[in-house]
Structure 1
Amino acid sequence: MTPILPGAEPLRRDGSSEVGVLLCHGFTGTPQSLRPWAEHLADRGLTVSLPLLPGHGTRWEDLELTGWVDWYATVERELRLLKERCDQVFVCGLSMGGALALRLAARHGADISGVVVVNPMATFPRLEGYLLPLGRHVLRSAKGIASDIAKEGSAEVGYERVPTRAAYEVRNFSRVIRAELPQVTQPLLVLHSRTDHVVPPGDSALVLGKVSSVDVTETVLERSYHVATLDHDAESIFADSYGFITRLTAKRAASDGA
């Protein structure tokens, strides 16, 4: 078994039986990119789950043996575990992890109380998309996409290479999530960077335009690149997401009391 990269380990913290939060990391990334966010929420008493997606956190060759169905199955299993323990569950994600969170919301309805996504992925580059069906059989890997961060000294634990077979899976998954966005009805917080060298800001606009949610908040992150959870705006993301969760849980408590 390939050892997990230092810092890439999954995180689970038991806290409140009332509120649980599932966090999903991005493609070729690891829980390290979301660990400060998860710890921020856990330190405030929430139950937190931050799994490591299959094929991630070891070596890029392991990733080419997995697909989006495997990644989604992992977060769906974690959702079920949280639902067994907590009265309310919120789902959060970065990049492709944001797409995974949105799919959970689309498919699990009332089991999810709210969604928070940071620079969510909803499309795939057109040129690369055209080339991948054949190119993945010719070119095994391409340059990695990790550590798109403006903050000096901050780095993401991720792969230096992207397997083309796995990239093809992301292309297919982007089509799936776009078709399912109208099924998302939960309260939604979308935070996206003004400058992002991995996922175009238009993906967040697409998400906002296609979901059926009524309670929607959009925040533009002015000082961060793609991995905003490790960048200059990280503390704002953590505070805004916790405020979003507490607002919704208080609203439900007031409704239940009435």
Structure 2
Amino acid sequence: MPVLPGAEPFRHEGGEVGVLLCHGFTGSPQSLRPWADHLAERGLTVSLPLLPGHGTRWEDMQLTGWQDWYAEVDRELRALRERCSRVFVFGLSMGGALALRLAAKHGEAVDGIVVVNPGNKVHGLAARTLPLTRHLVRTTKGVCDDIAREGSHEVAYARVPLHAAHSLRQFFKMVDGELPQVTQPLLLLHSPQDHVVPPADSARVLSRVSSHDVTEVLLEQSYHVATLDHDAKRIFDESYAFIGRLAPSVGKKGSTAGG
């Protein structure tokens, strides 16, 4: 199945400091591509994978679950560790949960984490009935394009497969239990006006991680997909400064390799 235009994975061979970026549920690398470009232009080695079942059509996602999504970012992290001396993991929404689990499981192999509007729970009364309703109803309305900036668009599915949503709910529960294992420096940026992931999820993450070096930043001008919104530049600048503080030598620029 062809990948949707703009949803392609991205890689850039840069210096000794690497960054793995994890996109969100039903989304694609397109939502993080400007962030990835910002880092690549500053000489970092960047990996922005396309998660299995994403970036094509929702029917493909129906056949995948959290184990597939996590396995993809786990592979990419291991590859970056072979290439780079320092590695950071960034994530948006569900990608934030993926980043936090990588930090919990890989320990010192992850030097720092940056998460934007990280998901921690599937909310609403309907979430409790997912174990049953996923066998009766295939999809529900999507959650894409929660962006305040006019004219900005997210490449994501207009429908949410309920089998995948059920798997996401299980994943969030598991990651919540693993948060105390997260000890790395953490930069968490979140939008007070988020119509997909409530601020309570960020508060929950902050209350449960064991990290001592924690910075919280409010994105007052943006909704959920803040990486494509009014606060995008702030996210890019804050995250690059975060890396610079923890890894002062970011290496030299390399050549770009897309796909």
TM-score by length of 1: 0.96
Amino acid at match of 1:95: S
Distance across 1 between alignment mates of 2:245 and 2:231: 21
2:225 to 224, 227, 238: 227
1:172 corresponds in structure 2 to: 170
1:211 corresponds in structure 2 to: 209
Superposed structure 1 runs of 4+ greater than 6 Å apart: none
Q: How far does the alpha carbon of each residue in 1:153-210 deviate from its partner, in whole angstroms, 9 at most, with x for none?
A: 0000000000000000111001011000000000000000010000011100000000
Q: How many residues align?
A: 250
Distance across 2 between alignment mates of 1:216 and 1:91: 15
SS of alignment partner, residue 250 of structure 1: coil
SS of alignment partner, residue 189 of structure 1: strand
Amino acid at match of 1:226: H
Offset, 1:126: 4.2
Amino acid at match of 2:29: P
1:46 corresponds in structure 2 to: 44
Distance across 1 between alignment mates of 2:80 and 2:159: 33
Q: Which has the higher contact order (CA 8 A, sep 6+)?
A: 2
Distance across 2 between alignment mates of 1:195 and 1:229: 14
Percentage of pairs with the same residue: 68
Distance across 2 between alignment mates of 1:11 and 1:166: 24
Q: How far does the alpha carbon of each residue in 1:107-149 deviate from its partner, in whole angstroms, 9 at most, with x for none?
A: 0000010000000001111412211010001110000111100
Distance across 1 between alignment mates of 2:7 and 2:13: 19
Distance across 1 between alignment mates of 2:229 and 2:25: 18
Distance across 2 between alignment mates of 1:163 and 1:156: 18
User: Which ranges of structure 2 fall in alignment gaps of 5 or more residues?
Assistant: 251-259
1:55 is aligned to 2:38: no
Residues 40-189 of structure 1: pairs in structure 2 closer than 5 A = 40-189=38-187
Distance across 2 between alignment mates of 1:128 and 1:26: 20
- 198-207 vs 242-251, which deviates more? 242-251
User: Which ranges of structure 1 fall in alignment gaps of 5 or more residues?
Assistant: 253-258
Distance across 2 between alignment mates of 1:4 and 1:231: 24
Amino acid at match of 2:4: L
Q: How far does the alpha carbon of each residue in 1:234-253 deviate from its partner, in whole angstroms, 9 at most, with x for none?
A: 0000000000001001399x
SS of alignment partner, residue 27 of structure 2: coil
Distance across 1 between alignment mates of 2:147 and 2:154: 8
Amino acid at match of 2:8: E
Distance across 2 between alignment mates of 1:94 and 1:5: 19
Q: How far does the alpha carbon of each residue in 1:13-41 deviate from its partner, in whole angstroms, 9 at most, with x for none?
A: 0000x200000000000000000000000
Offset, 1:95: 0.1
1:13 corresponds in structure 2 to: 12
Distance across 2 between alignment mates of 1:20 and 1:251: 12
TM-score by length of 2: 0.95
1:247 is aligned to 2:259: no
Q: How far does the alpha carbon of each residue in 1:20-77 deviate from its partner, in whole angstroms, 9 at most, with x for none?
A: 0000000000000000000000000000000000000000000010000000000000
Amino acid at match of 1:178: D
Amino acid at match of 2:181: Q
RMSD: 1.0
Amino acid at match of 1:117: V
1:28 is aligned to 2:20: no
Distance across 1 between alignment mates of 2:164 and 2:121: 15
Q: Which has the higher helix share?
A: 1
Amino acid at match of 1:220: L
